[in-house]
Homo-oligomer: A and B are copies of this chain.
Amino acid sequence: MDPRLAAFFAPASVAVLGASSDPSKVGGSVLANLRAGGFPGTIVAVNPHRSVVQGLPAVASIREVPGPVDVAVIAVPAPAVLGALKDCVAHAVRGAVVLTAGFREAGVEGAEREAELRAWLADQPLRVLGPNCLGWIRPTRRLNLTFAPGMPRAGPLGFFSQSGALCTAILDWSREHGIGFSVFASLGNQADLTETELIEALVDDPETRVILGYVEGVADGRKFFETLRRAAACKPCVLMKAGRSAEGARAVSSHTGALAGSDAAFEAAVVQAGGIRAETLEELFDLARALAAQPLPVGRRVVIVTNGGGLGILATDAARAAGLDVAPLEPASRERLAAVLPPNAALGNPVDLVGDATAARYGQALGALGDGDAAHLVLLAPQAATDAVGVARVILGATRGWRRPVLAVFAGGGRVRPGAQSLEEGGVPCYTFPERAVQALAGMVALAERRALPRLAFAPPVDRVGARAHVSRLAASGSAPLGLLEGAPLLEAYRVPVLGARAAADAAGAAQAARTLGGPVALKILSPDISHKTEVGGVQLGVAPEEAAAAADALLARVGAARPTARLAGILVQRMAPADGLEMLLGAVRDPQFGPLVVLGAGGIYVEVLADTVTRLAPLGLHEARAMIDELRLAPALRGARGRPRADLDALADVICRFALLVADEPRLLELELNPLLVGAAGALAIDVRGRLGGIP
């Protein structure tokens, strides 16, 4: 960690610039919070107009402080911030938290002020959090550098947020839910420290076991991605991003001036880096609590143990909806359970201990199940005989040291609270109703799967030189939009299979093209005046090369008879597409923040209508491409569900990687799309190609 950043994590001395005696002012409130939190280091009040502030002797300037200052909190008026920071540099302060508002978020004047600040900061030795932020909290150091009262509980969650208002809400909420933090950081306008640098610092912070963030926009997408990838390999990373909808993104930009950026690109970066995106704040913290306390699962199996049938069913439904596996128990487990449970217990999965289950029965059931490959979800409803605290004690005892995660649901309110609290304190996360526990478990599964994914670089031999030369030729000829005939050589240079096609001027040319392509071909009329080719007999499928001349003549005659006035430009001769296979789409675009992206999805009109697409940053490796395929809703069809032939997914993954490599290698390719890309048992084959080159005058 940058030693200047380290100052924020463990300062020995803190100065408050703009310290005030009035606790309703930011500079008064932050000083009061710092002292009330019990910070054991040196606290210096800086105020040019007073010699005593809140009972502390004050100095007029930080330059006058006799000893060193590690971190300064800036709560002076906006026009004085830059001067205060200069004073800090003069006093060799390593870090500053600028709480003051009135920068980019506040009109033209504020934007100018922030630009000036950023320009000055570029070559300074101190690091700045903010401006316009709520501040910084380090509970284990009893360090509260915010104007929000009350120290949150210490814990393993390193949290940062680009919204200050959310910080105040989360701080207040977390105190009631036993959520503990290693760091609580409000990033504000990020004139210096960004979310990416904070992630980097949290990786190095030994107190942080899980990294959490609320993000509205990312300044440098590729750097964010690379950093997150390194972070996620060490610690679970859970991120939430606002601005998913167009309307939300609009609100983001009016809120902080941050560009929300492409939401799909952000999600791709998080997933590809091995992190996870939460949909709501409750999800963020539900998952974080589980990650902080329990090991990651291996596989998707979950065993559900309950004293209430209805609860078990809700958990089962939620688990199936989340893609978890609630398979029946194997016979050996059932026998062990049968030996210890009453005859009316259900031994399937869920295991129903029935309503009069005692703590001892929970213990016997967990003992009989034992630690295995599955995760366990233990549910309790406060029925007549239920001893929630006893059950909690038994769960903690029976599952201590298990290598697979155990999550609990104690459904209810006051009657189960003491038990739930014992569980939480003992390291088993406990939820109020089944669905949220299942969602947390599903998040753990996703993280485990992403973490286990080998991230091998994909570097096959390709004809880079040929592809580049082809693009240069197209660019020289001023051809910005690409079609099938222009795009095919490019794809072939990267060995992406494209269905062979030739344009022919007449019947003889068609015959020649059919012989060159080989095998039966399709003939299609080329005419600017005919859009529905089949209706005028303008399509003939399955033509053998030796019949092609006659078939082309017949086709031209049919079309001529049906549409005497249409201009006929010739005939497209194309190999016959395989009869089976799924029509997919493989596309590429360039995101201003995240660079080249590849998109895989259902082809045809379904790509737009059903939005069954998955996005990744290019380039990517084969395992990542396979994971990409698996995320599609249509993945089961590709894997041979419902009697469909199983598609060659290795071949598809190979095509995705080659395509991604091509667009990553060739920055002049602004867009490229294979649609349809026919995917079947014989592999993946591009039937049509469209694209656009950039940088062409």
Give the interface of A toward B (CB within 8 A): 24, 26, 29, 101, 105-107, 147-148, 161-166, 168-177, 214, 216, 242-248, 250-252, 254-256, 279-282, 306-314, 316-321, 326, 343-344, 346, 348-350, 352, 355, 381-386, 411-416, 432-433, 435, 520, 532, 534-544, 547, 558, 562, 576, 579-580, 582, 602, 605-606, 608-612, 633-634, 636-637, 641-642, 644
- Nearest Cβ on chain B to A362's Cβ, whole angstroms: 14
- Nearest Cβ on chain B to A241's Cβ, whole angstroms: 9
- Nearest Cβ on chain B to A614's Cβ, whole angstroms: 14
With A107-B344, A173-B432, A537-B541 already in contact, the answer to whether A29 and B317 are too (CB < 8 A) is no
Check B637 against A605 for contact (C-beta < 8 Å): yes
Check A313 against B251 for contact (C-beta < 8 Å): yes
Give the number of times this chain occurs in the complex, counting copies. Answer: 2
Q: How far is the CA of A364 from the CA of B541 in the complex (A)?
A: 71
- Nearest Cβ on chain B to A189's Cβ, whole angstroms: 12
- Nearest Cβ on chain B to A560's Cβ, whole angstroms: 13
Check B412 against A243 for contact (C-beta < 8 Å): no
Check B308 against A163 for contact (C-beta < 8 Å): yes
From B166, B254, B310, B326, A346 is in contact (CB under 8 Å) with: B254
With A251-B316, A281-B314, A609-B641 already in contact, the answer to whether A172 and B538 are too (CB < 8 A) is no
Residues of B within 8 A of A415 (CB): 172
Check B308 against A169 for contact (C-beta < 8 Å): yes
- Nearest Cβ on chain B to A551's Cβ, whole angstroms: 9
Residues of B within 8 A of A348 (CB): 250-251, 254
A-B contact pairs, 25 of them (CB 8 A): A24-B384, A168-B383, A168-B386, A168-B412, A169-B308, A169-B382, A169-B411, A172-B415, A174-B413, A176-B413, A176-B414, A216-B310, A243-B313, A247-B317, A247-B319, A248-B314, A248-B320, A251-B312, A251-B350, A254-B348, A534-B541, A537-B541, A544-B562, A547-B558, A608-B641
Check B634 against A317 for contact (C-beta < 8 Å): no
From B532, B541, B605, B610, A644 is in contact (CB under 8 Å) with: B605
Residues of B within 8 A of A633 (CB): 609-611
Residues of B within 8 A of A169 (CB): 308, 311, 381-382, 411-412, 416, 433
Check B520 against A316 for contact (C-beta < 8 Å): no
Check B539 against A535 for contact (C-beta < 8 Å): no
- Nearest Cβ on chain B to A267's Cβ, whole angstroms: 13
Known: A169-B411, A242-B317, A243-B317. 10 other contacts (CB 8 A): A163-B308, A163-B309, A168-B308, A172-B411, A176-B413, A242-B313, A255-B310, A281-B435, A535-B576, A602-B610
Residues of B within 8 A of A382 (CB): 168-169, 172
